[in-house]
Structure 1
């Protein structure tokens, strides 16, 4: 097995760890030469990829890839679809499975209602519209080439080194209050495990990769502060808070995302809700790692 992860960042590294062992070759790309050593330290054969052209070294590595994971944001068009050819002409000949990391942002706003993979998408932001277009491209490529292509729609990602404890520790945590606002979350290790599960089962199609417990974002801050034994930051009204346009845009979408399809396929989450996940991060001291 040769797993190639395009855009091997925070989630991509967790995916690499989920596939590690048993003689599996794991490759990953990064835009930055400075990050290549970090990938190698995590057992990933590192390649530079700027999203525009593939060098000869990367093309040679791609030739025997069996599992391809695409994690790079598409921009105006998915860079990998363009380079591989949407007809799949340049796909690795031994390819067995494709995974495309997308976002639950493609659903848009549903006023806090429960949604699933059958819910029509109505993306609010341009970046989510681009993701939706890339999803369609990868699903179509998989169908044309007879390779299972799975779209993994991820909710808010957190885990070691990226969590409410870190924000509280740095003094950047904010307890914003917007009436009835909820978000889903996903622990990064569960992204890795879900990717491995879908590939092992040769499953294609769309799957929500999200926890069981959507909830108000301020509740996560309060729970983390309780575990740390510190006072949570004061409440701030969302309407009057100073936020970047991107941060404010996240609050324009309100929905509860179901993971029932993935669980029905047989996947078991290691971190199904944020209270138990935060407790585990705090108890084992890995929240900073």
Structure 2
């Protein structure tokens, strides 16, 4: 398990003992939780030694690329290398934390039954990574779950930072693309529920909140709350102002894992005192 923004929060929520790994071997997000040990490990290193991970009973793989890291090496080749060297081990559950970018950009409600491939490289890499995880798990008869997370926000990653105005130029498009976000704490709850799920539960689960308000509305609300000029868009909003684009369903999150969202809506008002 990684020890970044999400991984560190997962480590704090899990019962001990927990083994976390990071490329640097340093705990980046707050203090190291009691009962968690941190090991330096580079998934992209051909000489990777999984060390204590060989004794793990459950494994969560949650990685995020740095600015200069090769995405294929990190998402596909690295986890495959790690799992090959761990083998079956003592694993009783394998959880891959991926992204809703594995879904196509289509104007529709999309659930986990969607098999249409994404049209962009980032999404295709996510699909390839998922397939590699599932292949290893099924070959070694390890129960598996793939969690596709929406955009993460929460402590230290405020919505007001994500949707702040960065320049005066109009933003591309009309801003009516839906948001597919999830609060970090709800993402942590989903991972914990996945680890506790019965072994017969296997499949893909989308981890997003209930709110799919258009990006245009997020920018407009933030401007109003902070007294800034409204953001301009390259194209006018269509009549009716209905979101157009990918809207990710979270039914399995609730029905399969029983997760009750602490943050079903993403509200700028709470951050800005509105």
Q: CA deviation at 1:67?
A: 1.5
Matched-pair contact (CA < 8 Å) for 2:175–2:216: no
1:102 is displaced (CA, Å) by 1.2
Structure-2 separation of matches of 1:66 and 1:263: 25
**Aligned Cα root-mean-square deviation (Å):** 2.9
Q: How many residues align structurally?
A: 251
Which protein has the bigger helix share?
1
Offset at 1:167?
5.3
Q: Deviations over 1:193-250 (max 9, x none)?
A: 1000011013321000001111211322344455xx422442221469xxxxxxxxxx
Contact 1:158 1:188 in 2 (8 A): yes
Which residues in structure 2 correspond to 1:210-229 (within 5 Å)?
210-224=208-222, 229=225
Task: Determine which of 117, 138, 158 is the counterpart of 1:122.
Answer: 117
Conserved in 1, the CA contact under 8 Å of 2:179 and 2:215? yes
**Would the alpha carbon gap of residues 262 and 171 (structure 1) be closer, same or farther in structure 2, given more than 3 Å must change?**
closer
CA pair 70-173 structure 1, distance change in 2 beyond 3 A: farther
Q: Is 1:254 aligned to residue 249 of structure 2?
A: no
- Distance in 2, matches of 1:54 and 1:188, equals 32
TM-score by length of 1: 0.76
1:38 alignment partner in structure 2: 28
1:271 and 2:263 equivalent? yes
SS at structure 2 position matched to 1:75: helix
Equivalent residue, structure 2, for 1:79: 78
TM-aligned CA distance change 1:103 to 1:186, over 3 Å:
same
Residue 51 of structure 2 aligns to a residue whose secondary structure is helix
Confirm or deny: 8 A CA contact 1:65 1:92 kept in the other structure: no
Unaligned runs of 5+ in 1: 241-252, 284-289
1:93 & 1:259 partners in 2: Cα distance?
32
User: 2:114 and 2:146 mapped to 1: Cα distance?
Assistant: 15
Matched ranges for 1:147-166 at <5 A: 147-166=142-161
Distance (Å, rounded) in 2 between the aligned partners of 1:54 and 1:42: 28
Determine which of 49, 67, 70 is the counterpart of 2:58: 67
- Call closer, same or farther: CA 1:282–1:67 in 2, change over 3 Å: farther
Q: 1:58-207 maps to which residues of 2 (within 5 A)?
A: 59-72=50-63, 75-76=72-73, 77-85=76-84, 90-91=86-87, 93-111=89-107, 113-166=108-161, 172=166, 176=171, 178=174, 180-202=176-198, 203-207=201-205
- What are the Cα deviations for residues 153-200 of structure 1, in whole angstroms up to 9, with x where unaligned? 1111111111233357x8648884625321211111111110000110
What are structure 2's unaligned runs of at least 5 residues?
Answer: 65-70, 237-243
